[in-house]
Structures are given as structure tokens and as C-alpha cells.
Structure 1
């Protein structure tokens, strides 16, 4: 078989795959996102960590969505998404470097809502934290007490009921400090016009009875987007140096304004025992539908997100670590290519 015949056969085989999938009504949507930044990091306390300039991944990923109609009004759905830490040349999350899967879920979707099982984005994050998680660098999303995704979880999202919607999640063995207790989340939201208000509960359980309550607001006025959230811990912990301390609060206010291909962003936050005073400023330039350039400045009063070069959560900096670098500031610029 000559080279042209081999190429023709390969192309024909590749074209046959979606044709077969369509015949069986099974649909796949493959996607990916390459996100890399150059950063200059300056910790406030350089006794434990010097200033540095380096390259860091900003949550690159690759994956697919799939769906298959089971009957009228009921569809089987699934998703698999892997993290790609391009700076470290590894299949891992750049923050939680022990995590090699972002999303692996399967479920059903119909008129009664959506049921999912697996590792997934959790309802509390989607309703409470996501409205202010709008930045493009690695440092986006740290100004919250909750986690983004958990494995061994079951979730339910209700259909929209005249603007109202509910969500519930049960997560096996992902309770306080990753103990064996189950984790439970419940959220409710109401949308009217260009405004959405949401409330949520994230019950970590455990011996200290740790529960996180949250409230969020999202509002759009033309090219201006405003987001805000408030979180508070309720627990039996009475130690200001311990995560989950009773009464600790996280408060965020975000504003984003789009002008042509540019979006200007500002967030100020106060997150007790995890960053304290935080300022995050940035600009995105949408060069084309697939390519975005971004530049950001990030400041935290105490250590929450800053680590060693290309490091992650396992590096052990922060409150109670014994080597607190007391926060600092970051200048970062990079690009994001979606495919």
C-alpha cells in the first residue's frame, strides 16, 4: 500500500467514526485549553521563599463531553476532563499536584433535572464562589473557603422553575480535613432579569461540626458585570489559626467591564485565615474566538496562593505551616488557547 492510499484509508476511517456515532445517536464533543503564564513573584517574607520569575500553568485541560438519548425527554450524559500542567510537563492539577483527573462524571438529564455521579464541580462552588471567580491566571479562585471539585460525589440540579432552582450534593469521605465523614451541599438560586441571587450550605461535618454558609449576587448591566459573595464558618473550632474556625468570614466584591475585545477586572476580598486582605486586578484581550491574552496583578496579605516556582498546595506555606511567607504580590501575563 503506497503512502497516498494509506492516508486516504486513514482519513476514511476517521470520518467513519463520527458517522457511526451519529447513526447510534451517540455524540462526542472533544475540547481542550492551553493556558500558560509568565510570573514575577515577590513574597513579603523572603526568609523562607525568595522572589522569583518563572513560567506556571494556569489550569490547562483536555477532555470530552458525551450524550446519548435514552428516550424522549431523558438523555445519558458523561464527561471526562484531565488537567495538563504544561509548565511541569505532567498530567496533574498545577495547584493540587496529586490530582490527575479534573472531572469524571456520568448521569442523566431530563425534564426532572440532572443527576450526576463521579468527580465533578460541586453545587456550592457553582452557586456561591463562581460569580467572583473570573480571572485568567493561576491565582484565580483562591478567595473562597470551599473546594471546587470532589470525587465519589452524587449531585442533583433541578430544572428552572420560574427563575428558581435548587441543587444538592452528597460526597463520600470528603468531609472536614478529608476525613471519612460524608460531605453534604445544598444551594438555591433565583434569577430575575439580569440578576441572580444564591444561597448555599457546605456541610463538612466531622468531629468539629464544620459548616460553611454562603450568599452570592451576580448582576449584568450592559458591558458591566458585578459579582459579590459572603461566606461564614459555623463550627466547634475556636482557634483563629485553624481552618474552619467558628465565625471566620470571606467577603468578595468583583467588577468586570468589557470594552471591545478587552475586559477589565477588579476584585477586592477579605478572607479570614486564608489570605486576609486580597486585591486582584487584570485585563483580558480576546484576540480571536480561540486565543486570549491576559495580564494580572495579585496581592495577598497572608499566604494563600503563593508558592515556590511551579509549586502547589503540598509545599506547605501558609498559616500554621511554620514557614509563613506572609503573603506577597504577583505580576503575571500569559495566553489561553481553546480548541
Structure 2
């Protein structure tokens, strides 16, 4: 049994309780989201990757969350979520197509916070990258240096202490060069504003570390987000990913008018996309169905890849390009 299967089985087994008590105390919520887009991709260097039009999955998933009370104020919690690559008719992440589990975690939640183990969303992404990761297509979330989710991770989230909170994560073998990865974040929320600071320590032979700050503010129908990340490492090569001093800077604005939300992000990400412009509009047709249209431009290659391809098929020599995409998201 491989590590991913063992992780998923552990969640299911740990939440299994006698049928006689399930109805009274075990709470299970099933959910899913089908997300598909039609895209027209125009790379700048068409000697390396030709223009194409096709269908791509935009991170569809299906899963469940569960909770089971252990003691007063203390709950056993778990979550299992699988990726559904609809365009490729496969159970896999559309970007990391070797990944067949999005989330598989189990933990304890109480007044002292939440402690979880497994494959999970990482604290640094939640605090630093998420405030500007608000788009609906496959091309959302690339303008950052950090990882979204990792397995073999122990994570802790503190309770809210008058607006102040912090989180910690340790991931075995998921840093640079197979080293362990450590993350630490702190956030302060006051009114409609949240400020966060975080560190993502990848270690490795080059002592790679990412430090970031973010801000999010809501003003009526207007949402504003921004983040700045900086690489600290022993790498001294202006053309190398992870070069000491490289920065990723993003500003995002979203405005909701009735059922429509208009979005704009501009980013500058050294050695991973360079100048990035992302524009979009969502239309909430009904509570379950959302329609979206987006334009994405990157100066150098970060997200653009082959038709229905992912990370392993990325044409790095395509020198960036632009994408027009329209699609739908159905939540159930």
C-alpha cells in the first residue's frame, strides 16, 4: 500500500464508529465541485509550443469532512478530498498529474486550536498567497513561490485571540533537495482588514527560505488584496529560480455588482512568470452554478503548458504568452 492510499485509509478508519452511535454524534458533510473551461492559448515562442484551443479542468474535486465529539469541547476531525481532472477523465490534479489526493487529514479540534496530520493546505499559502488567489480558471494561484498542499505534514492552527492568530507546519521530505519543510505564520484581523506575515523554510543545500507579508481588506462590495514574498538563499544567479533576493509582488482588486464579480490582478514574479496580468469576471447564475471568463498574460513561462498537460508538460522555452478562457463551476 503506497503512502497516499495509507493516508486516505487512515482518515476513513479513524472516523469509523459503531453504527448504533453514528446517527447521534458523527457529522459527515459530502461535497463536490465540477469546474471546466474552454481555453485559447497563444504562447509567445510558437517554435516551442504552438497555439491551441481546448478543454481544461479548473481543479474539480469531490470529498467529505467529518467530525466526532470526544470530550466536551474537543472533536476528532477528518477530511478526504480527491481531484477530478474532467478534461483528461482521470482522478488526478490537472497541474500535478501525479497527485491523486488533494486533502487527506485527521486531527483534533478544541478550544486550544486545531492539530492535524496528513496531506493538507499549508499555513503559508493560506495566510500569504490566498489573499490574492481569487480567480476561477486553471491559471489561478501561479504568481507565488510557495506550494499549496503537501503530505506527511503536521499542522497547528491557534484559536483567534482578539484578532491575533498563528499557525505552524512541519512537512517531512517536502523541502528543497528532499529536506524537511517548516512554515510559521502570524495574522492579525481588525475590522475588515487582515494583515499576515509568514515564513516558508525549504532548507536544502542552498538554504532556501521564503518570507512573505500580505494584506486583505473589504470595503462594501470592494475587496483588495496584496502580498510581497522574498527568497533568501545561497543561490547567486539572477536567472535561477530561488535566487537570493528574488521577489513576488501582487496586487488584486475585486468588485461585486449584483451577481457579477469583476477581478484584476497585476504581479511581478522574478524567475517565475515575471510580469503577470490576470483579468476576469464571474457570474453567479444561481447558488450552485457560476460562469466565468478570464484573460491571463505572463511575460515568461510559469503556468502555460501543453494542451490538457500539467507541470511535467510545461514548455518553459515558450516564453510566456496569453490565454483566453471561459467556463463553468457547479458546486454540490
Place the TM-score, normalised by the shorter chain, in its bin. Answer: over 0.9
Partner of 1:214: 212
Partner of 1:128: 128
Which ranges of structure 2 fall in alignment gaps of 5 or more residues?
1-17
The Cα shift of 1:240 comes to: 2.1
> Helix, strand or coil for the counterpart of 1:22?
helix
Larger Rg: 1
Distance 1:59 1:19 in 2: 37
Question: 1:210-257: CA deviations, max 9, x gaps?
Answer: 000000000000000000000000000011222211000000000000
> Helix, strand or coil for the counterpart of 1:302?
coil
Distance 1:89 1:316 in 2: 20
> Helix, strand or coil for the counterpart of 1:274?
coil
Partner of 2:5: none
The Cα shift of 1:109 comes to: 0.3
Partner of 2:89: 89
CA RMSD of aligned residues (A): 1.1
Partner of 1:263: 261
- The within-5 A match list for 1:217-236 is 217-236=215-234
Partner of 2:7: none
Distance 1:30 1:240 in 2: 47
Alignment match of 2:327 (pick from 331, 334, 339) = 334
Distance 2:163 2:109 in 1: 19
Distance 2:315 2:234 in 1: 25
1:294 and 2:287 matched: no
> Helix, strand or coil for the counterpart of 2:167?
strand
Equivalent residues of 2:106, 2:117 under 8 A apart: yes
Distance 2:248 2:19 in 1: 47
The Cα shift of 1:317 comes to: 2.2
Number of aligned residue pairs: 315
Partner of 1:11: none
Distance 2:70 2:110 in 1: 10
Alignment match of 2:307 (pick from 304, 309, 318) = 309
Question: 1:124-146: CA deviations, max 9, x gaps?
Answer: 00000000000000000000000
Which ranges of structure 1 fall in alignment gaps of 5 or more residues?
1-16, 319-323
The Cα shift of 1:208 comes to: 0.5
The Cα shift of 1:20 comes to: 5.6
Distance 1:21 1:241 in 2: 57
Change (3 A) 1:18 1:43: farther
Distance 1:36 1:316 in 2: 20
The Cα shift of 1:185 comes to: 0.1
Partner of 1:107: 107
Distance 2:21 2:257 in 1: 44
